[in-house]
Amino acid sequence: MNIQQLIEQIRQKKNYLCVGLDTDITKLPAHLAARPDAVFEFNKAIIDATKDHCVSYKLNTAFYESQGLKGWEAMEKTLHYIPSTHFTIADAKRGDIGNTSSQYAKTFFEVLPFDSVTVAPYMGEDSVRPFLEYENKVTIVLGLTSNKGSNDFQYLKLEQSSTYLFEEVLTKVASWGTPGNLMFVAGATQASQLATIRNIIPDNFLLVPGVGAQGGSLEEVSKYGLNKNAGLLVNASRAIIFASPGEDFAEKAGVVAKEYAEEMRSYLGV
């Protein structure tokens, strides 16, 4: 799915919810935990219960890679189970010298046919370029992250200027691509910076993690982040997939996803 099709899905479904499949095996419901394909069974049930209330799924690859081959297989099966009407994100945060980034791009755009992958911009243009070379795929670059550690580097002021490092990152990286192939991560916990971010990149989609378990406000994010095409994908992982620890985990996930979707609909004013 490309950005134009994502915009169409948002219009049809009237929400911009991304469900995060951060499937931590230590948190699986007891009745599933011992099953041989537990992670995929869990994800399948979550997708079935939430697909009508979201437009996207984000798989944080760490939760799969940490399980070795079995985890990788669960990630692949999950990706293929997600309906083609939903925008898929590999939250892998890759980026290396160009020669190596090409291999990462091949991994997440070809071997695993995700629609998009998250990329860390620290190593500069040649580390991001191999991802951007894929037509109809989207590169999601870390702009201003949701964690406390974002203060360490992202809020450093550039010498003799009032500009933060993250602002320079957004400005520079935006010139490497277009709103059709480049999104940025902006943490929901950073809502006070969203107006600034929108001034720099009015048209790019923002992937916004940090509502739910991290306490970010959906209302604030929507107020400052929405643009003419919606322009937002707001992710919640733990708050949805682990809404209940019991046999009703999928049903509860569906209820929470529906609540987020309805709140989003009110902000879209449709």
Ligand X SMILES: O=c1ccn([C@@H]2O[C@H](COP(=O)(O)O)[C@@H](O)[C@H]2O)c(=O)[nH]1
Q: By CB under 6 A, is residue 101 in contact with ligand X?
A: no
Q: How far is the CB of 65 from ligand X (least distance, A)?
A: 13
- Using the minimum distance from each CB to ligand X, give the nearer residue, 143 or 231: 143
Percent helix, percent strand, percent coil in the chain, to nearest 5: 50, 20, 35
**Secondary structure element (H or E) that encloses residue 59, with its range:** strand 56-60
- Kindly indicate which of the ranges 69-77, 158-166, 212-220, 221-229 contains the residues binding ligand X, using the contact rule CB under 6 A: 212-220
Q: By CB under 6 A, is residue 231 in contact with ligand X?
A: no
Q: By CB under 6 A, is residue 116 in contact with ligand X?
A: no
Query: In this chain, which of 105, 140, 185, 191 binds ligand X, going by CB under 6 A?
Result: 185
What the block records as the tokens of 158 is: 């550039």
Q: How far is the CB of 168 from ligand X (least distance, A)?
A: 18
- DSSP classification of residue 158: P
- DSSP classification of residue 157: B
- 137 vs 131: CA distance, rounded Å: 8
Q: By CB under 6 A, is residue 216 in contact with ligand X?
A: no
- 32 vs 52: CA distance, rounded Å: 24
Q: 44, 70, 77, 93: which is the annotated catalytic residue?
A: 93
Q: How far is the CB of 63 from ligand X (least distance, A)?
A: 8
Q: By CB under 6 A, is residue 225 in contact with ligand X?
A: no
- Kindly indicate which of the ranges 1-9, 41-49, 211-219, 225-233 contains the residues binding ligand X, using the contact rule CB under 6 A: 211-219
Q: How far is the CB of 60 from ligand X (least distance, A)?
A: 4
- Using the minimum distance from each CB to ligand X, give the nearer residue, 20 or 95: 20
Output the CA angle 250-17-2, nearest 5 degrees. Answer: 115
What the block records as the tokens of 204 is: 């790019």
Is 137 marked active-site? no
H-helix segments, the chain: 3-13, 30-33, 38-50, 62-65, 68-81, 98-106, 125-132, 150-153, 165-174, 194-200, 218-225, 238-241, 249-268
Angle between the 38-50 and 68-81 helix axes, to the nearest 10 degrees? 20
- Using the minimum distance from each CB to ligand X, give the nearer residue, 35 or 187: 187
Q: By CB under 6 A, is residue 169 in contact with ligand X?
A: no
Q: By CB under 6 A, is residue 95 in contact with ligand X?
A: no
Where on the chain is the footprint of ligand X (CB under 6 A)? Answer: 20, 22, 60, 91, 145-147, 185, 187, 209-210, 212-214, 235-239
Q: Which residues are designated catalytic?
A: 93
